[in-house]
């Protein structure tokens, strides 16, 4: 009986050890099998992240080149872009503007973007598609154009391990600085190409010193103005007011240098280049400066106390 009890005891210990060994080995084997799976998923996750970084960069390039082409078209034809939204889409998807091929859009169209991303997907043995793409142009601040690309992004591991499917909304902001102002280009027949440059001044007259205002006027710097048109509206030739509007002061001397006779009216650009002609005020301290007070311009430029109606 004693021997039998000892035998049973050792048998139980042996079974327990074997069970622990089998369990440990199975766990180790499972862990070993999951390592390549985890590594593969991490590779795919990194690729998805890289695509989400590439899309804004590629959207920016396409949008920037499109605005350059808008400026070029306006100067060459003397006409505005009647529908910037439609023209942007045409350039992005067809590389044409009003049906004319544009070399500048080489490598900047949707098909180029998709091919570039697909080639990168091939390198990690994955498939990538961009479906139902749309591209839009808008402004939500005075100094930048907003280009938004919306598309369904699908990335699939060729081995069937994982698939990513999401609606991708990518927005890129393009500064309007140094683009030509379309209303100058059209209204001077391309003789005066004024670059958008933001004024460095917040106060135009300081303690009787008019040097800031004089410099702002002579260089036709731009300031924000909710009474003026945005840059996007300027592309269309729309001089209406906008919350993201800007304005400059037209310098008659700049026009004269280009052989253009100056008008005798307010030099606020969206008024000067329109048919409006509100009451005029001269500012004796600044030669050739004529303003109006329809949109509080006398207050804006700190000359209310010295402006003289003419």
Which two three-digit tokens encode residue 298?
Answer: 């006398």
Sole residue written with tokens 């004529």: 290
- Let me know whether 149 and 23 are in one domain: yes
Q: How far apart are CA 256 and CA 262, in angstroms?
A: 7
Among 146, 175, 204, identify where a domain stops. 175
Among 175, 202, 225, identify where a domain stops. 175
Q: State the pTM of this model.
A: 0.85
Q: How far apart are CA 40 and CA 225, in angstroms?
A: 54
Q: Which helix (H) or strand (E) holds 148?
A: strand 144-157
Which two three-digit tokens encode residue 203?
Answer: 């106060």
- Let me know whether 17 and 109 are in one domain: yes
Closest CA to 281 of 294, 270, 292: 292
Q: How far apart are CA 165 and CA 52, in angstroms?
A: 13
- Let me know whether 17 and 165 are in one domain: yes
- Let me know whether 215 and 128 are in one domain: no
- Let me know whether 41 and 168 are in one domain: yes
- Let me know whether 20 and 160 are in one domain: yes
pLDDT per position as a tens digit, 195-244: 999 999 999 999 999 999 999 999 999 999 999 999 999 999 999 999 99
- Average pLDDT over the chain, rounded to whole? 91
| Contacts by residues 74-78 (CB-CB < 8 Å, ≥ 24 positions apart) | 74/180, 74/182, 74/185, 74/186, 74/235, 75/180, 75/185, 75/190, 75/193, 76/190, 78/185, 78/186, 78/189, 78/190
4 vs 153, more confident: 153
The answer to whether 152 and 167 have CB atoms below 8 angstroms apart is yes
For residue 125, report the phi and psi dihedrals to the nearest 5 degrees: 60, 50
- Let me know whether 192 and 161 are in one domain: no
For residue 189, report the phi and psi dihedrals to the nearest 5 degrees: 55, 35
Looking at the chain, list the stretches that DSSP marks H as alpha helix, in order from N- to C-terminal side: 2-77, 84-94, 110-123, 182-187, 211-218, 231-236, 252-257, 269-272, 297-300
- Let me know whether 256 and 115 are in one domain: no
DSSP one-letter code for 103: G
Sole residue written with tokens 């503007």: 97
- Let me know whether 171 and 192 are in one domain: no
Q: Which residue range is the domain that position 213 belongs to?
A: 182-309
- Let me know whether 23 and 162 are in one domain: yes
Distance of CA 126 to the CA centre of its chain: 30
Model confidence at 3: pLDDT above 70: no
Q: How far apart are CA 305 and CA 239, in angstroms?
A: 29
Q: How far apart are CA 244 and CA 198, in angstroms?
A: 14
Q: How many domains does the chain have?
A: 2
- Let me know whether 133 and 272 are in one domain: no
Model confidence at 37: pLDDT above 90: no
Among 152, 175, 198, identify where a domain stops. 175
- Let me know whether 90 and 168 are in one domain: yes
Model confidence at 33: pLDDT above 80: no
């Amino acid at each position: 009986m004693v021997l039998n009890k000892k035998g049973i005891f050792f048998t139980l210990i042996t079974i327990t050890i074997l069970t622990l060994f089998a369990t440990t080995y199975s766990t180790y084997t499972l862990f070993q099998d999951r390592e390549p799976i985890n590594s593969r998923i991490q590779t795919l996750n990194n690729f998805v992240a890289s695509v989400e970084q590439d899309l804004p960069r590629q959207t920016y390039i396409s949008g920037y080149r499109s605005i350059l082409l808008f400026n070029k078209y306006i100067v060459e034809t003397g006409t505005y872009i009647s529908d910037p939204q439609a023209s942007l889409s045409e350039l992005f998807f067809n590389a044409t503007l009003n049906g004319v091929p544009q070399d500048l859009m080489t490598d900047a169209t949707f098909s180029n973007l998709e091919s570039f991303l697909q080639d990168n997907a091939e390198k990690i043995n994955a498939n990538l598609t961009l479906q139902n793409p749309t591209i839009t142009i808008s402004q939500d601040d005075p100094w930048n154009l907003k280009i938004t690309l919306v598309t369904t992004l699908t990335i699939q591991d060729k081995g069937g391990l994982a698939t990513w499917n999401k609606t991708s909304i990518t927005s890129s902001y393009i500064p309007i600085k140094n683009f030509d102002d379309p209303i100058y280009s059209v209204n001077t027949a391309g003789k005066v190409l004024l670059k958008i440059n933001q004024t460095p001044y917040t106060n135009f007259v300081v303690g009787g010193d008019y040097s800031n205002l004089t410099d702002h006027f002579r260089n036709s710097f731009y300031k924000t103005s909710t009474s003026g048109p945005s840059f996007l509206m300027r592309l269309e030739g729309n001089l209406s007011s906008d919350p993201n509007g800007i304005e400059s002061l037209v310098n008659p001397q700049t026009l004269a240098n280009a052989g253009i006779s100056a008008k005798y009216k307010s030099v606020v650009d969206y008024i000067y280049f329109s048919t409006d002609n509100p009451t005029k005020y001269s500012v004796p301290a600044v030669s050739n400066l004529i303003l109006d007070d329809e949109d509080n311009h006398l207050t804006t430029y700190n000359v209310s106390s010295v402006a003289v109606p003419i």
